[in-house]
Amino acid sequence: MLYYYYKKTGEVEWKSYPYHSFTTIKNLPIKRINFSNKEDKTLSDTISEKVKELLKKSKSGVVDKTLDYEIETLVMNLYKITPEMKKYIWKSLHNVQALRIIREIF
């Protein structure tokens, strides 16, 4: 979703207040889970369990980056994103984060 949002809006700055309008959030391409489809249901269940695990582990304020990456990859699988597109998305997000860090320095 972050990649989609960056590409759709061009916004890469962190906002420390509730900034997103209802329309912006409503227009995110949220995947509807077909619980009759075994693959969708399994992915959904796995994502849910991993998110619960991440929330438990991050109560100290530190996010388990390996677990976060695993969740992101599962979500990409749910959206049927190809391996080539996954590489492109990861590279784009890395570049956006690098730009943000550079701006924070100055």
Q: Domain spans of the chain? A: 2-105
Residue 11 has what pLDDT? 66
Residue 23 has what pLDDT? 75
Give pLDDT < 50 ranges for the chain.
Answer: 101-106
Residue 102 has what pLDDT? 45
Tell me: the pLDDT tens digits for 56-69?
Answer: 988 877 888 899 88
Residues near 78 by Cβ (< 8 Å), separated by ≥ 6? 31, 33, 40, 43, 44, 47
Tell me: the pLDDT tens digits for 67-76?
Answer: 988 999 999 9
Rounded Cα distance, 26 and 8, in Å? 13
